[in-house]
């Protein structure tokens, strides 16, 4: 069975970095195919690494710090606004359920015919008040949901900008 | 005032949320950490991706994630390993999205000590898969053992051993015809 690694491999590669190859390790490398391969591969990779290390200057630390700060603020904002978003979704669900219940009750009563009467607009019927209330809640919830989605998009675009 | 390395990298240990907030790295500490670690991580990212623009993005994202997560205080070596692990995860995310382009990094002429060797190595880097470049880099440049590479890459130790063996053989085969062995 072919060996896949040698316990002296790291020593053989380290000797490339330090330049210190003891006679004993040299003898081992000459007799070990894995260490020979490792030194050959490592020499190429280490050469590339030293070139890249010397050539490439990392971006300014301040730039990275500011980007991380913006990311942190965005995450804090999301965490803080999470209960608010939950309440908005809950209120939208409530409106839908209330509207369904209202329509169901409305349809089962004889109020349809009653509404067809012009006098309903002038009367202070609780039905009419309820319709206005449900409409107001629906519009308000719709606006709040739209607003929360828009503010989320703005926060995301600001932090990535 | 210069900070000592112990101040930048406090000793690791159990840490509460309050302690974590108190230990959150300030800008000066970050600048020192960045100065000590950014260059090798950038070289690693350029070496694996072969693209400076991609490596720059990944480097910034690596430090952003590090700062946002605010991990428990750790020593210098652990911090360095941790940063390499984040960078490696980002590389893996790129490969999952199939965003890896061919290796195209060309060293500048001013640094060309041995043109023949550079050409061989460049051809080898192009021929190697990103995962192979990554494993060879972590093993031979960063000096990580199999367990540390497994922790950084999310692979099992036995898989690292096998994959590294194949990568080593492939790289040696690509460099062997023109280079002396020892």
Condensed to tens digits (0 to 9), the pLDDT of residues A33-89 reads: 999 999 999 988 998 888 888 888 999 999 999 999 999 899 888 888 888 888 888
Based on the domain organization, do A48 and A71 belong to the same domain? no
At A59, give phi and psi (nearest 5°): -60, 160
Q: Say if residues B7 and B33 touch (Cβ distance below 8 Å).
A: no
Domain residues for the domain of A69 are 61-160
Are the Cβ atoms of A44 and B121 closer than 8 angstroms?
A: yes
Q: Which of B46, B59, B165 sits opposite A59 (nearest CB)?
A: B59
pLDDT of residue B106: 57
User: At B82, is the pLDDT very low, low, confident or very high (cuts 50, 70, 90)?
Assistant: very high
pLDDT of residue A153: 59
Are the Cβ atoms of A49 and B43 closer than 8 angstroms?
A: yes
Alpha-carbon gap, residue B115 to B109, rounded angstroms: 9
**Topology, domain B113-182:** Arc Repressor Mutant, subunit A (1.10.10)
Domain spans in chain B, listed from the N-terminal domain onward: 1-101, 113-182
Alpha-carbon gap, residue B163 to B169, rounded angstroms: 10
Inform me whether the pLDDT recorded for B69 exceeds 80: yes
- Token pair for A42: 């490592």
DSSP3 helix / strand / coil % (chain B, rounded to 5) = 70, 0, 30
How distant is the Cα of B31 from the closest Cα of chain A, in angstroms?
6
ipTM higher than the 0.95 cut: no
Alpha-carbon gap, residue B143 to B150, rounded angstroms: 13
pLDDT of residue A150: 65
- DSSP state, A117? S
A146 vs A126 pLDDT, higher one = A146
pLDDT of residue B168: 92
Answer yes or no: is A3 within a domain. no
B92 vs B17 pLDDT, higher one = B92
* Terminal Cα-to-Cα distance of chain B (whole angstroms): 47
Answer yes or no: is A146 within a domain. yes
What is the reported pTM? 0.69
A115 vs B176 pLDDT, higher one = B176
- Inter-CA distances, B45 with A52, B19, B170, Å: 10, 33, 21
pLDDT digits (tens, 9 = 90+) for B152-171: 998 999 999 999 999 999 99
Give chain A's domain count: 2
Answer yes or no: is A26 within a domain. yes
User: At B23, is the pLDDT very low, low, confident or very high (cuts 50, 70, 90)?
Assistant: very low
Based on the domain organization, do A77 and A26 belong to the same domain? no
Based on the domain organization, do A83 and A28 belong to the same domain? no
Answer yes or no: is A1 within a domain. no
Biggest distance spanned by C-alpha atoms of chain A: 111
């Amino acid at each position: 069975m072919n060996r896949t690694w040698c316990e002296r491999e790291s020593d053989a590669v380290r000797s490339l970095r330090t330049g210190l190859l003891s006679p004993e390790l040299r003898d081992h490398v000459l007799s070990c195919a894995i260490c020979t391969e490792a030194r050959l591969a490592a020499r190429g990779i280490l050469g590339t690494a030293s070139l890249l290390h010397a050539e490439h200057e990392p971006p300014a630390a301040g730039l990275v710090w500011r980007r991380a700060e913006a990311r942190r603020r965005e995450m804090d904002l999301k965490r803080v606004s999470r209960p608010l978003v939950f309440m908005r979704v809950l209120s939208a669900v409530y409106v839908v359920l209330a509207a369904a219940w209202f329509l169901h009750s409305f349809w089962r009563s004889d109020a349809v015919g009653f509404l067809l009467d012009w006098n309903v607009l002038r009367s202070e019927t609780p039905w009419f008040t309820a319709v206005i209330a449900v409409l107001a809640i629906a519009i308000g919830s719709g606006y709040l949901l739209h607003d929360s989605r828009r503010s989320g998009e703005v926060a995301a675009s600001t932090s990535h900008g | 005032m210069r900070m000592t390395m112990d101040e930048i990298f406090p000793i690791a240990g159990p840490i509460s949320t309050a302690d974590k907030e108190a230990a959150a790295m300030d800008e000066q500490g970050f600048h020192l950490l960045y100065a000590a670690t950014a260059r090798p991580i950038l070289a690693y990212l350029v070496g694996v991706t072969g693209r400076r623009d991609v490596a720059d993005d990944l480097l910034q994202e690596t430090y952003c994630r590090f700062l946002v997560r605010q991990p428990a205080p750790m020593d210098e070596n652990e911090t360095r390993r941790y940063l390499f692990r984040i960078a490696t995860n980002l590389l893996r995310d790129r490969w999952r999205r199939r965003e890896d382009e061919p290796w195209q990094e060309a060293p500048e002429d001013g640094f060309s000590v041995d043109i023949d060797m550079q050409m061989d190595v460049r051809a080898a880097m192009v021929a190697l898969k990103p995962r192979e470049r990554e494993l060879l880099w972590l093993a031979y440049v960063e000096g990580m053992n199999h367990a540390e590479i497994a922790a950084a890459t999310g692979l099992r130790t036995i898989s690292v051993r096998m994959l590294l063996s194949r990568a080593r053989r492939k790289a040696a085969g690509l460099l062997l015809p023109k280079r002396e062995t020892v």
